[in-house]
Amino acid sequence: MEFNLLHSDKETKARAGNIISDHGEIETPIFMPVGTAATVKAVHQRELKDDIGAQIILGNTYHLYLRPGINILEQAGGLHKFIGWDKPILTDSGGYQVFSLAEMRKLKEEGVTFQSHIDGSKHTFTPENVVDTQRSIGADIIMALDECPPGDSDFRYAQKSMELTHRWLKRGVDHFHNTGPKYGHSQSFFPIVQGSSFKDLRKQSAEFIAGFGMEGNAIGGLSVGEPAEVMYEMTDVVTDILPQDKPRYLMGVGTPANILESIALGVDMFDCVMPTRNARNGMLFTSEGIINIKNKKWENDFSPIDTQGPTFVDSFYSKAYLRHLIISKEILGAQIASIHNLGFYLCLVKEARKQIIAGTFSKWKNNMITKVSERL
């Protein structure tokens, strides 16, 4: 994998670049749709590629390991072939499940033991075996196993947690170097900065992570309950330290406004379930603002979903129709809303990239944040 930094904004820390992987190029800043269980929920691969313009998607190690299982993925020849996606894939290590399935796991020095949310069976993830699993999945970018502590963790816990993540990282990197890809294309390994809401810890973690000289670096443990201001502050501290010539990935972020602010802080890659999950729950992100399509006010609004929207659904279907579908829990509603939201996200980062290259990012960003945050 290669990263070319093309432009750096003068007023902010925003950057435009290219990531070149064996599955093609990614133009940064980029948003990566989340496809946890071998599918970006409610969206076809063809729509993802042709309509939405996704350049890379996510998968999740924990979920894929439980179902369909590594054996099936290996028989399929890897996740790309299994799902019919020939562009890059990034897999999360299962670190987030340490956080989201907190009540069903045990943390130890060796690794983390989960109780499957499907059948209750016990499984242990270690820094080493998640590398193996991600080798079998065949993701282009694989993530280190980390502990993602809650946003309101106290200093002592945050420090302990960060140190564990660092020890795990060392083991993970070693194992990554001692193993190789299984399907012919190369894989990159991203370490993850932790440190919760403490600047000192974040700094320390970023320095530690940078020391490994991996092909990209991630910022984790944010957007987990802390105020947005804290998230920006932490991101700001970290991007000052992480190498300029490697892509930075802010994990799990966020709202359109979060993404624009973080681009300004020097982040290149994002992922978030928000556009897809919220779509299924009736929330639409548009360039005019946020729409709760379930609200009565849209009942007889037969105007297009988003006249400025980049995807075919935006002009093809009306708000009233989409409202009907979502309220009736019709599957098509989830499909339309998901395509719309993802299309909007991808379009947003594409425009941000243009503005960075044109040198007009700062002004555009501030204006855009006000618009996209408004509630319609």
Pair 9, 366: CB distance under 8 Å: no
Question: Site for RNA (CB under 7 A): which residue of 95, 111, 172, 266?
Answer: 95
Structure tokens at 118: 């499907």
**Span from 174-182, 234-242, 272-280, 311-319 in contact with RNA (CB under 7 A):** 272-280
Q: Is 294 a binder of RNA (CB under 7 A)?
A: yes
Pair 38, 83: CB distance under 8 Å: yes
Is-catalytic flag, 22? no
Pair 155, 198: CB distance under 8 Å: yes
Pick 253 or 356: Cβ nearer RNA: 253
Q: Kindly state the number of chain residues that form the binding site for RNA, as judged by CB under 7 A.
A: 59
Least distance in Å: CB of 180 to RNA? 22
Least distance in Å: CB of 359 to RNA? 28
**Span from 20-28, 181-189, 275-283, 366-374 in contact with RNA (CB under 7 A):** 275-283
Reported in sequence order, the residue ranges of the chain that DSSP labels E, i.e. its strands, are: 2-8, 15-21, 24-28, 30-33, 57-60, 89-92, 105-107, 112-115, 122-125, 141-143, 188-190, 192-193, 217-219, 248-250, 269-272, 283-286, 289-292
Q: Is 253 a binder of RNA (CB under 7 A)?
A: yes
Sign, Cα dihedral of 151, 57, 55, 335: negative
Question: Site for RNA (CB under 7 A): which residue of 16, 131, 143, 313?
Answer: 143
Question: Site for RNA (CB under 7 A): which residue of 3, 85, 99, 285?
Answer: 99
Pair 339, 242: CB distance under 8 Å: no
Least distance in Å: CB of 6 to RNA? 26
Backbone φ and ψ for 173, nearest 5 degrees, come out as -65, -45
Distance of alpha carbon 153 from alpha carbon 195, whole angstroms: 10
Pick 41 or 203: Cβ nearer RNA: 41
Least distance in Å: CB of 78 to RNA? 18
**Span from 133-141, 167-175, 253-261, 343-351 in contact with RNA (CB under 7 A):** 253-261
Pair 256, 283: CB distance under 8 Å: no
Least distance in Å: CB of 198 to RNA? 15
Sign, Cα dihedral of 323, 326, 332, 337: positive
Is-catalytic flag, 92? yes
Residue of 9, 51, 92, 146 marked active site = 92
Please report which residue ranges of 138-218 form alpha helices under DSSP H. 155-178, 199-210
Site for RNA in 52-91 (CB under 7 A): 58, 60, 63
Binding site for RNA (CB under 7 A): 34-37, 40-41, 58, 60, 63, 92-93, 95-97, 99-101, 103-104, 117, 143-144, 146, 148, 192, 218, 220-221, 223-224, 228, 251-255, 258, 271-274, 276-278, 280-283, 292, 294-297, 299, 327, 329, 331, 334, 375
As annotated, the active-site residues are 92, 271
